[in-house]
């Protein structure tokens, strides 16, 4: 989108926008062939794959934020150790996450998040039955 941003700036801008739940604006920062690997849960491809995972996940959240604990950049690869925080009706849920991103031509081409799924699921509201 903006080739004047560094890979780290691109990734942090993307995360900030996605935490605001502005999917159209955030997904403009990913490549059409992006791979999103939510390691303990599974992989999806493309911007619509990311939307299909995150839109329902963020559905019950009131506020979302992330705090960078450590940041490492090597060329187009960005690694962020983060604390993702999500405010639900029941209070804040905090999840330590390590994300690896690869940026190509100013867009995120790979996003891989590592976290402990049982930690998240023990605090997250169950999805309503369909």
CA distances from 101 to 11, 48, 78, 95, 126 (A): 7, 18, 5, 18, 29
How far apart are alpha carbons 19 and 66 in whole angstroms? 8
Is residue 113 flagged as an active site residue?
yes
Q: Catalytic pick from 33, 37, 113, 116?
A: 113
How far apart are alpha carbons 68 and 15 in whole angstroms? 11
Q: Catalytic pick from 24, 74, 84, 116?
A: 84
Is residue 84 flagged as an active site residue?
yes
For β-strands 30-38 and 107-114, DSSP reports them as parallel
Catalytic residues: 84, 113
């Amino acid at each position: 989108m903006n080739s004047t941003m560094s890979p780290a700036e691109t990734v942090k801008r993307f995360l900030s926008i996605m935490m605001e739940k502005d999917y159209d604006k955030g997904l403009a920062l990913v490549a059409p062939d992006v791979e999103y690997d939510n390691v303990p849960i599974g992989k999806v491809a493309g911007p619509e794959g990311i939307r299909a995972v995150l839109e329902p996940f963020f559905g019950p959240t009131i506020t979302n934020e992330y705090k960078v604990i450590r940041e490492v950049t090597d060329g187009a690869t960005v690694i962020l150790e983060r604390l993702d925080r999500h405010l639900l009706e029941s209070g804040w849920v905090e999840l330590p996450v390590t994300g690896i991103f690869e940026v190509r031509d100013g867009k995120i081409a790979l996003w891989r998040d590592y976290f402990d799924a049982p930690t998240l699921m023990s605090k997250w509201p169950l999805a309503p039955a369909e």
